[in-house]
Amino acid sequence: MKIYQTVEPVPSRVLGLLRLLRHTEQHGLPRDTVIDLLQPKSLREKEYADTLATNTIAAVLELSTTDPRLIDQQDNGNGKLLVLGKDLRECDDSQFDDCARALLERAALRPKVGNSANRFAEICAWLLCLSPVSMPQGHAELKTRLKSDGLSYNEFGLNNDARCLLGEVLRASVAMARRKM
């Protein structure tokens, strides 16, 4: 799942994309415009180095393959148009961030993505089963703990490029576990 196999689609960028589409006429924009707004050309290393924006869009589109649809990509004759999903379009402005968070949680934690197991949901479930006081500290300890629990670091696609995002998932899981205590 792109949401954790690449480092670009962090929660703040995903929410930024959803907020951007929310505050446009018709709740949509041409894909090229969205890319330029999420990652302006002046900030790119090279003119077409837009992986931050394209990977964020790809991850949200992947999360939108079934209900709830966070965004849709449509062909408007002049190119691709990114449009906010129906549930988010109908959400009251004052509740938008809460609606977005709830829909993102539901989409990211569903058991399957397409026809494949949702490894992100599985790793989150594993993290939530751990006691907050015995949480692995650091990537090396996390890798060791996964292995000792019979899980394969590689099967989950948690390669070196994703380590910093996994740390964010780990910190978020600890925070969620502590709130439930």
pLDDT at 162: 44
55-77 as b/e, with b when 16 or more CB fall inside 10 Å?
bbbbbbbbbbeeebbbbeeeeee
Q: What is the pTM of this model?
A: 0.74
Average pLDDT, 10 consecutive residues per value, the chain (181 residues): 65 90 90 90 73 87 83 89 93 93 88 81 87 82 86 73 52 58 54
Place of tokens 């990509």: 73
Q: Provide the token pair at 149.
A: 């629990």
